[in-house]
Every structure is written in C-alpha cells, then in structure tokens.
Amino acid sequence: MNTTRRPGRHRPPGKPNPIAELAVLARESAQPAMKGAAILAATGGLVSTLAPPAAAESNVTASAPAATGPKSAERPTTVVVPARPALTSIGFTPTKPVKQVPPAKVITDVHLEKERQAARDTAELEREAQQRASRDRERRSLSSTPSATVATAPSAPSAAVGGRSAYNWGSAGQCTWGVLNKWYQSEGYYPGGWTGNALVWAERAAGAGYTVSGTPRTRSILVLQPGVYGSSSAGHLGWVTAVNGDQVTIIEMNALAGPFNYNTRTLTDISGMKYIYAP
C-alpha cells in the first residue's frame, strides 16, 4: 500500500478545529523548548484567519481555502466561529470605553464668605477710629496753644450738646455754609435745630440746646451783629481758631476773599460779638 506523505503538520482524522489549535499553540508557547518565533507566526496566522471584520457583532462564517493537488475539487468546508469567545479564549481583552467624569461644581464656602465680610467690617471700623483719633489730635493741638488758657478759664461756661443735622444747611458760598463746614471738620457732625440769617444765630442756637457766651473760646462760632467789623445787615459769622486775651483769630467765608473763599482775620473782642461753643 502506497502512502503519500504531505509536508506540514499531521492532524488526527476528523475536521480541523481552529479553536483547539489556538489553545494548543498558546500552551506550547509557554514551554522553553519551543521556538518563540515559530509559535508567534503560527498563532498570528490563525488569529488573522478567525478575526471578524471591525463592524461585525455576530458570528463569523469563513470558508476553508481551496486545496491544491488531486483533492482540489473537494467541497469547501464551512467553519462558524464566534467572534468574541474565540479571541477571549487566547487572552484577548476588548478595551472598555473611558467613563466621562462631569466637571466638579463650584461650592461657595459660607463660613469663608462670613469671615471675609467680618474682615471688611473690621477695616471700616478701624478707618472710622482713625478719623476720630485725627479729630482728637486736632482738639488737643488747639487746647495746647496759649489761647487755651483763656478758653478754659473759670469765666468760660462749659459747653452743652445741642441738636444735630445730617448735612450742611447753610447757603453755599456764604458765611453760614463756611462756619458749618469748619464745625464739621472739627467735631465730625453738623449742628442743627435752627435757621435764619447770621444776626439771629446766637439766640436760636441757644434755643437748640447749645451754649452761647460773650467770652471768646476756640472751637466756637463767632456771631457778628450788623455793622460790627463791616458786617452787612444780615450779620456775619466766623470760626474761632485762636484766642489771646481779647484778640480773636477767625477763619471766615465771603468776607475779604469773596463767596466760596476763606480768609483769616484777628479781631478785638467788643460789644456785638457772641460765641456758640462746640461741646
């Protein structure tokens, strides 16, 4: 009996099973005696034969290649190979899609915002305290002048606190507006509780609760009656900055320098002059 030997691998009788061959190749590739290059080439050939198209989701149907030689007319063998189980059996793991993480939400720290607001409030309080300290220094500076001796003499009555205003209610550019502005710069508020021309300020300020005296004193409003030192028929006003005996130094608006402008004069205290004391 003549036996025809064909080159290549010898298989046992029956239909070839590509899955079984892949498993055998995978086991043999782990043995040190096998040649890695040959196993890799054979495995790659089988995988490329069994691999489905990129878009395939179901089983793959493959036809066996046509044989050469005397049996070329034999009927092709059809092999149905599951796409994913076949690749998984030799260690192939499909890549999982990356999960998209939504951006983190910005959360307002309520406690931090409260701390910032408290810091702003503290800064505002410090600013007001600095302004008060500045006014106190100015008062001490005025009290340290030689005129302070006359101002604090026993003959000068203590000053009472009267009414207050939220704004400068004098006529803009006139002596009334000028002395109210100087009072505010010294004391930090506007006096109030009366109205009228300069000649009635002494009696009306007394009615509003303020101390009015004929003795000159720093930090006071000088009220000049009409005709005294050139005052008009409406009277005139000045802010007292210094006193030296009977010499009274004032700063005034709408006098020698005209409306909206200040000038300084030193006058001798005479009849027709009254003083509204700041507390």
Considering the domain architecture, whether residues 170 and 41 belong to the same structural domain is answered as no
User: Is the confidence at residue 40, as pLDDT, over 70?
Assistant: no
Instruction: Tell whether the model's pLDDT for residue 75 goes beyond 90.
Output: no
> What's the whole-model pTM score?
0.47
Identify the pLDDT of residue 207: 94
Residues 6+ apart with CB under 8 A from 245: 150
Percent of the chain with pLDDT over 70: 56
**Pair 146, 234 in one domain:** yes
Distance of CA 184 to the CA centre of its chain: 34
50 and 149 housed in the same domain: no
Copy the structure tokens of residue 24.
Answer: 């055998």
Does residue 184 sit in the same domain as residue 260?
yes
The reply to whether 170 falls in a domain is yes
CB–CB of 167/184 below 8 Å? no
Which of 1-15, 118-132, 193-207 reaches the highest mean pLDDT?
Answer: 193-207
Q: Are residues 270 and 141 in the same domain?
A: yes
Q: Which two tokens stand for residue 181?
A: 């502005």
Q: Are 272 and 195 in a shared domain?
A: yes
Residue spans of alpha helices (H) in the chain = 18-28, 36-50, 83-89, 110-143, 148-151, 175-187, 201-207
In a domain, 119, yes or no: no
Position 47 pLDDT exceeds 70: no
The verdict on residue 182 lying in a domain is yes
* Residue 5 covered by a domain: no
At 229, which CATH number? 3.90.1720.10
**Same domain, yes or no, for 270 and 151?**
yes
User: How large a percentage of the chain has pLDDT more than 90?
Assistant: 42
Give the burial string for 75-93 (b: 16+ CB within 10 Å, else e): eeeebebebeebbeeeeee
State whether 47 and 151 are in the same domain: no
CB 190 within 8 A of CB 165: yes
Cβ contacts of 20 within 8 Å, gap of 6 or more: none
Same domain, 83 and 152: no
Distances (CA, A) of 31 to 18, 21, 36, 224, 245: 21, 16, 9, 123, 123
pLDDT for res 72: 46
- Domain of residue 59, residue span: 18-89
Whether 9 is in a domain gets the answer no
Q: Has residue 126 been placed in a domain?
A: no
CA dihedral over 108, 109, 114, 115, signed as positive or negative: negative
One domain for residues 149 and 268: yes
Residue 84 has pLDDT above 70, yes or no: no
Answer yes or no: is pLDDT of 126 > 90.
Answer: no
Q: Residue 235's pLDDT is what?
A: 96
For the chain, how many structural domains are there in total?
2
- Kindly state whether residues 158 and 264 are assigned to the same domain: yes
* Cβ density class 152-187: b for 16+ within 10 Å, e for less: eeeebeebeebeeeeebebeeebbbbbbbbbbeebe
Is 111 among the domain residues?
no
Q: Is residue 35 part of a domain?
A: yes
Summarize the confidence of residues 134-160 as an average pLDDT.
60
Same domain, 76 and 142: no
Is 98:117 a contact under the CB 8 Å cutoff? Answer: no
**Residue with more model confidence, 3 or 135:** 135
